[in-house]
Amino acid sequence: MKKYLSKIIYLSLTVFLLAGCSSDQDSTDEVIVDPPTQDDPLTTSNAASYMVDASATKETVALFYNLKRLSQTKTAIGQQDAFNSFYQDAGGDSDIKKNTGFDPAVLGSDFMFITDKSNNEQSDNWFYQQEQKIIADTKAAYAKGIINTFSWHLREPYNEDSFYTADMTSEQKSTAFKSILPGGANNEWYKKKLDKVASVVSNLKGSNGELIPIIFRPFHEFDGSWFWWGADFCTADEYKKAYQFTVDYLKNTKGVHNILYSFSPDNSYTTETSYLNRYPGDKYVDIIGMDNYGDFSNQGQTGSDRANSKLKILSDYAKAKVKIAALTETGYRVTSTTPAITDWFSTLLYSALTKNDIQISYVMFWNNNTDGYYVPNSSVSNANDFKTYSLKTKSALVNSLPKMYEMPK
């Protein structure tokens, strides 16, 4: 479905960078034996061999390992722009923290403003100011032990005005995605955008100078027709080539080694075969994701069960291939004219994330704003529903996470 996306005007906040999340382990700590099994071959020593980037930094390898292990018992709760998007523009702590007392376990950000054509990297430039705020938020999240994930609403290569096909001409829609492939008219343009992404990610550093790992989710919801990279505007082979080029360019050409790569269609699939139709291959994907608003749009337990069956496809594939499964976007937006659904979080969503022995590492809700919210703060009608959900056995806010950037010993 075409989700709501406002052009966020970030509020000015003073971000206090907390102490780095790494800590020295006492040499007398008990060593936990981590043997492979027939069903789960992952170990602390072989984790990198299952990743896209065999040269990933140790913190990035630890994040992969810990996300996989976390999914076996809990699902981390996240929100897009959690530090800057508040219901009714009420600043301060994240709306999740206002409700529960704890920050989210996952922070969602976007490269959209960072790679915008109007970002001239000058201090008085609004887009550059957003870049600096996103960087500061990412560092603050890392220091708190929060997981960072980035989407990319990349504007089309012709006028760079929009990422929605509704704003493009028929000719632009039919040629835009093809044009960014190697040999295409806009491949150099696309490489410059990737250069900017690489520059930012390569300079994300913690308090000890270590690179901060991120999850990167390019070309999401590609099975729909609302984005210019959608299935109506490129073949499966073209999509795979663009995804592969993106990974290879960042990893091999630019030498970026602090990224986990996420693949996430919308919810149109019902079988593993249809899910994998545009899959670029196990060598290019760390996180098997899905965005799903439609099955949760006031369809009760029927929709929840439908979402669960799709998540099971992801979970089963992730188990078989030693990948990580995630619900990379979801939510039900409450406004003055769209009331909350009773027990949406604590029953409908939670059952979708937990039934049938599935393993989902994290769930990401979209951002709140002046007119509506996906995650309730403490003052709205469904605040207790969310708080109940956050306290359930298989839910995790930041206070329930292990040290995500350190290998267990």
Please report, for the domain that includes residue 96, its CATH number: 3.20.20.80
How far, in Å, CA of 259 to CA of 112, rounded? 17
Q: Is the pTM of this model over 0.85?
A: yes
pLDDT at 351 over 90: yes
Q: Is residue 356 part of a domain?
A: yes
Give the separation between CA 21 and CA 145, rounded to whole angstroms.
Answer: 6
In a domain, 105, yes or no: yes
Q: Which domain holds residue 371?
A: 59-400
Of 334, 357, 359, nearest to 345 by C-alpha is: 334
Residue that wins the pLDDT comparison between 18 and 333 = 333
Is 37 domain-assigned?
Answer: no
The SS3 assignment for 296 reads: helix
The answer to whether the CB of 329 falls within 8 A of the CB of 364 is yes
Mean pLDDT confidence for 253-273: 98
pLDDT-based confidence at residue 216 (cuts at 50, 70, 90): very high
Answer whether residue 231 is part of any domain: yes
400: phi > 0 → left, psi -120 to 50 → alpha, else beta; which? alpha
Residue 20 domain-assigned (yes or no): no
Task: Sort 164 into a burial class: Cβ within 10 Å, 0-12 / 13-18 / 19+.
Answer: middle
Q: Is 188 a catalytic residue?
A: no
Instruction: Compute, in degrees rounded to 10, the torsion defined by CA atoms 390, 391, 392, 396.
Output: 60
Catalytic site residue from 131, 156, 210, 329? 329
In a domain, 82, yes or no: yes
Has residue 43 got a pLDDT over 70? yes
Residue whose C-alpha is closest to residue 174's, from 156, 191, 195: 156
40: confidence class by pLDDT, cuts 50, 70, 90: confident
> Which tens digit of pLDDT belongs to each residue from 160-176?
999 999 999 999 999 99
From the candidates 59, 131, 210, 221, give the one annotated as an active-site residue.
221
Q: pLDDT tens digit string along 18-39?
A: 333 433 333 333 333 344 555 7
Asked if 337 and 374 touch (Cβ cutoff 8 Å), the reply is no
Domain presence at residue 5 = no
3-state secondary structure of 365: strand
343 vs 17, 215, 326, 360, 387, CA distance in Å?
36, 30, 22, 20, 11
Average pLDDT on 328-332 reads: 98
DSSP β-bridge partners for residue 324: 287
Active site residue 221: yes
Farthest-apart Cα atoms in the chain, separation: 66
Q: Does pLDDT of 141 surpass 80?
A: yes
Pairwise CA distance, residues 337 & 367, whole Å: 18
Residue 247 lies in a domain: yes
Overall domain count for the chain: 1
Identify the bridge partners of residue 291 per DSSP, sorted by sequence position: 329
Sign of the CA dihedral with 20 first, then 16, 194, and 1 last:
positive
